[in-house]
Structure 1
């Protein structure tokens, strides 16, 4: 009821959405306020204005309704197919070159788990995880958040991406001073803990010649390949482009910038929960894949 009133703004429209009469909805609202012991809305003609307490209650309702809808959908899927749906997403870089192979492995190892990609999890991944919009998030960097468990998955490296013919492409590694005259493309204008700005650029005091934010990984790769600038990204995220020879990757500093990826799940998930099973399978699969790549080199 609160969700419908919030979305439509009037009792008449909310009643239509709920499939009841306006009179029935008025009685339902009055009964809710009687039980709560206060007003949820103040009447302004035909429209309703939320009280402060009503606004807090409505915000909670708007969080609960989608979770219940997903729970009902998952229940129906499990009844029909006897499978558990696990929604997962990637917190950064929007890279899915690995996904088909992992899904094939999961289908063999865990046939009772159905994976559903939530591409929107890239935006506000922790909020999506906490609110139940996604069950597992593959995330780079070190994240310590109350209520969220972090399961190590694989080790990666932040590298400078340049066009193949760029003057920096032949260097074994770069120093921060190499960026001074460059048009620098960055994935995000927000400085994330554990990434290149905090660990490499800011300590040096170097300011790139020109900075442009490109929030889509594929677009950033294409722009760099075409000579529009350079940028620092996860080696794993751009591995396909490196293998295809469209860009070159150079280590950042002689010591390199390591980047750990983890699977994030809600702390409340029990050890046997499907979300934790998927997280463990992700770690096993990536470790196996990296072992195969290292063995083949």
Structure 2
């Protein structure tokens, strides 16, 4: 190989942090040393990784390809080293977990207590950044398990079913729509509506409930934090369609009300996603099975 590990780490740091100054700080070297490292790597490979765009560095097409390899490979190598150290010294095994689509953790303390009783050597580490890019986080090795609603078949990723949920209209407590047995999309046409994501997610409310009706709420605002949406709705400033599980704590405290979507409702299945390459007795698989048993219980 022409590049050393420090060159791969350099590519990953610059890609993730966006500029040389921050990348140098993260790597513990000066900006001058980092510039020399870039030049050295380019000499070894016989081509440019970056080109200047104002004060920033922009990846060349060839640089983008090799950086993607760095982003994929380094977390795998780091995880392998960590697994070796844990197995060699019989230490606790850390499993990194994220939640896709919704930033909700009301369930976490109770599950940690359950897991510590059933598998005391397994330690859970929450990775909040996995919420926005769950599959990529799994593929790159920055997270080991993702609790995800729905599931799109993805090579190298397997689902372990956890529980059945539903999408519901969430409104302020005692809102007129909360007294209906169910709503139709037309009921949202004049309402202030908060959506969790500006992207159309397969299997969610826009695809299955709003678009088929050809009626779109006139006042739509993107708020990418579940807790923020809950606070806005609780204050009487609007409504949203969310996973019932994701807002369970607020519903139980009667801060919010919910109403079924359509006469038959909209189901939503949740799974624990893990890498297919995980060994049969890996910590990730063990924790996934604990999650499934806990939810069934």
Pair in the same fold by TM > 0.5: yes
Q: Corresponding residue for 2:135?
A: 126
Counterpart pick for 2:163 among 151, 154, 161: 154
Residues 27 and 105 (structure 1 numbering): CA distance in 2 closer, same or farther, change over 3 Å?
A: same
Q: Corresponding residue for 2:7?
A: 2
Structure 1 residue runs without a partner (length 5+):
289-297
Counterpart pick for 1:210 among 213, 216, 219: 219
Residue 253, structure 1, aligned to residue 258, structure 2: no
- Measure, in 2, the Cα distance between the counterparts of 1:279 and 1:286: 11
Residues 51 and 246 (structure 1 numbering): CA distance in 2 closer, same or farther, change over 3 Å?
A: closer
Q: Corresponding residue for 1:294?
A: none
In the TM superposition, residue 143 of structure 1 has moved relative to its aligned partner by: 2.0
Q: Corresponding residue for 1:292?
A: none
What do residues 110-139 of structure 1 show as CA deviations (whole Å, max 9, x unaligned)? 112111111111021100000000010000
Q: TM-score, normalising length from structure 1?
A: 0.82
| 2:29 alignment partner, SS class | helix
Residue 144, structure 1, aligned to residue 153, structure 2: yes
| 1:17 alignment partner, SS class | coil
Residues 5 and 227 (structure 1 numbering): CA distance in 2 closer, same or farther, change over 3 Å?
A: closer
Q: TM-score, normalising length from structure 2?
A: 0.82
Q: Corresponding residue for 1:232?
A: 241
Q: Corresponding residue for 2:29?
A: 17
Counterpart pick for 2:177 among 168, 172, 190: 168
Q: Tell me the C-alpha RMSD between the 2 structures.
A: 3.1
After TM superposition, the structure 1 = structure 2 runs for residues 266-281 of structure 1, keeping only pairs within 5 Å, are 266-281=275-290
- Measure, in 1, the Cα distance between the counterparts of 2:197 and 2:50: 44
Residues 4 and 90 (structure 1 numbering): CA distance in 2 closer, same or farther, change over 3 Å?
A: closer
| 1:169 alignment partner, SS class | helix
